[in-house]
Structure 1
Amino acid sequence: MALDRIENLLEKYFEAESSIAEEKELKDYFASSDVAQHLEQYKPIFGYAIQAKQEQFTATIPLKTNKRKSVVWLSVAASVIVLLGVGLFTFSHYNQPEYQDLGTIDDPEVAFRETQKALAMISESVNKGIGSMEYINEYEKSKNKIFKK
């Protein structure tokens, strides 16, 4: 009767339907010396857990910390970054001319013509971009016809 119970528990165990209490019962059975001969093949599966519990890690792990070196390198790197930042700021700040002529025009008629030229150039670029959008609209129409939205 007990052997039938162990075989049923083994079947439940391999079907992943056993409870923790049933698994403990299997471990206890396979830890004992009176295991049925046809079930000897399962003994290493359940004996491993008992053996693993008894093992202990005894080696020491040496931890080398070089905090002093890392702090030194970190402070050197921070100093270099600060010096580069200050140098770039002063270089860019003092190499710019103080006054730039932005193309001011005194005559209103000339200013008007120049403004019209500039606006015509912008309009031409915008119209070119809008023309490119026609391809996208055509693509959308074709896609909607194919997929019937």
Structure 2
Amino acid sequence: MVLNNIEELLEKYENGETTLKEEQQLKNYFSQETVAPHLEMYKPMFTYFLVNKQEQFTKDIPLKTKKVFNYKWISVAAVAVLMLGIYFNRPVDSCEADLVGTFCEPEDAYNEVTKSLAMISSHFNKGTSTVGYLNEVNKGTSTLGYLNEIENTTSIIFKTNN
């Protein structure tokens, strides 16, 4: 009778339908020295549960966290201060002809821009002249359209004769 009860409790345990009291009965049964031979495979599991229940955590848990100072942000701030210092240290009114791409006189800048635009225009015109062949392709596709019209009329003729 006890063995049948244990087998029923094991079946309920495997389905997740046991109560805490029934699980305690199973743990008590499997903690004994003698267990039915066909239920020996469950004994290590339930003895593990009993041993695990007695374990305790003994390590101290610190409640205060230490503040970690991030030194990376100091270097970022230092670089930002240096860049601002270099930028605002430049003379404002003087002509900076030593910098690449800058001009002291507006006429010089205007002449340089017109030269650059003229060069761009000439290269653009060369590119558009080579694209002119696309017009010939358009003419060829329009003649193909005529072939489609001929094909449509012949299909109409052949359908009426059938």
TM range (shorter): 0.3 to 0.5
Q: Which has the higher contact order (CA 8 A, sep 6+)?
A: 1
TM-score normalized by structure 2?
A: 0.45
Larger radius of gyration: 2
TM-score normalized by structure 1?
A: 0.48
